[in-house]
A and B are shown apart, each in its own frame.
Chain A
Amino acid sequence: EAQVTQNPRYLITVTGKKLTVTCSQNMNHEYMSWYRQDPGLGLRQIYYSMNVEVTDKGDVPEGYKVSRKEKRNFPLILESPSPNQTSLYFCASSHPGGTGYTFGSGTRLTVV
Chain B
Amino acid sequence: RKEVEQDPGPFNVPEGATVAFNCTYSNSASQSFFWYRQDCRKEPKLLMSVYSSGNEDGRFTAQLNRASQYISLLIRDSKLSDSATYLCVVKAGGTSYGKLTFGQGTILTVHP
Chain A contacts to B: CB under 8 angstroms = 30-31, 33, 35, 40-45, 48, 50, 58, 88, 90, 94, 96-97, 99-101, 103-106, 108
Q: Beta-carbon contacts of B76-96 to A below 8 Å, as 1s and 0s? A: 000000000001010000001
- Complex contact B97–A96 (CB within 8 A): yes
The 9 closest A-B CB pairs, nearest first, are A103-B43, A100-B46, A43-B102, A42-B104, A97-B96, A96-B96, A42-B102, A31-B97, A50-B97
Contact of B32 among A42, A48, A90, A99 (CB under 8 A): A99
B34 in the interface (beta carbon within 8 A): yes
Chain B residue total in the interface (Cβ 8 A):
21
Chain B contacts to A: CB under 8 angstroms = 32, 34, 36, 41-46, 49, 87, 89, 96-97, 99-105
